[in-house]
Amino acid sequence: MFVFENVLGLLSAKNEDETRYIDKMISLFSEVGYTTEYRLVNATDFGVLQNRKRVILIGKKGKEAGFYPEFEKSTESKTALVKEILEDLPEIQAGEGDWFNVKYKNKGSEYVFDASIRNGIDFTTQHIARPHNEQDKEIYRIAVRKWNSGQTRLDYNDLPEELKSHNNRHSFVDRFKVVAPDLTKAQTVVAHIAKDGHYYIHPDISQNRSITVREAARLQSFPDDYFFEGVGNEPSRNAAFKQIGNAVPPFMSQAA
């Protein structure tokens, strides 16, 4: 058997002859002797505090069909508000943080222990934030105020003219987006977070930054003792973010 994971777009993407990629894949698997079944799965069903829909294919050697399992969804002990995975990490500013030996600032929520994110050691790592310029930080403050005052997302076109530096005013108008602390799931963490943190603004206006490597890892349900390797012997924030964004959340993997 094999398991294959991909993004939601796999269900609609087509070749030049209008054949869906997924149909072509299933046909190719069949040619080498595998029956393949797939479903759309959301990581939030397994205790991940993130809206992450993914296509999960399972192939089995032979002609048998109907083998796709019913995944066990999370229990109530693995549900929480997003703020519960942020509140025990030290408060830092843009460009600050530590790659190693990050001490927790408080005992942490029940969720981080029930979910084994905090799993016995008294420190974590890679709680390090990217730097931001003053213009971006002012936009972050506006975005956080809008969310905290009424759960309203920032529309790029509503910014003061002096803060608009992008010529494209018609698409990606939600390019500055707060990780909502008072919801049970955040927006999808993607590999592009390695290049752009604007879509993942920390909800604490006093910190005024995008989320750290460790915070992104927690949104993906990685335990705090998991260390993301850099490039060669050097730590790399971008390499860590890319690994996190591309990963299958451990909670989802565990359910399978």
Going from N- to C-terminal start, the domains of the chain cover: 2-61, 76-255
* Residue 25: pLDDT over 80: yes
Under 8 Å CB-to-CB from 138, ≥6 apart: which residues? 163
Sign of CA dihedral 140, 142, 145, 149: negative
What order of strands is seen across the sheet that includes strand 2-7? 2-7, 53-61, 34-42
Nearest to 137 by CA among 79, 95, 170: 95
* Residue 245: pLDDT over 70: yes
- pLDDT for the residue 256: 65
Residues composing the chain: 256
* Residue 124: pLDDT over 90: yes
How far apart CA 193 and CA 247 sit, in angstroms, is 13
What is the pLDDT averaged over residues 226-255? 88
* Residue 76: pLDDT over 60: no
113 Rama class: left (phi>0) / alpha (psi -120 to 50) / beta? alpha
Nearest to 222 by CA among 207, 240, 235, 205: 240
In contact, 56 and 41? CB cutoff 8 Å: yes
Under 8 Å CB-to-CB from 251, ≥6 apart: which residues? 43, 46, 47, 48, 74, 78, 115, 221
What is the pLDDT averaged over residues 113-138? 94
Top CATH class, 76-255 = alpha beta
The pLDDT confidence band at residue 168, using thresholds 50, 70 and 90, is confident
* Residue 210: pLDDT over 90: yes
How far apart CA 34 and CA 135 sit, in angstroms, is 54
CB count, 10 Å around CB of 244? Answer: 26
- pLDDT for the residue 254: 83
Element of type H or E holding 238: helix 237-246
Greatest mean pLDDT among 104-118, 203-217, 223-237:
203-217
* Residue 246: pLDDT over 80: yes
- pLDDT for the residue 214: 98
What is the pLDDT averaged over residues 131-142? 96
- pLDDT for the residue 77: 52
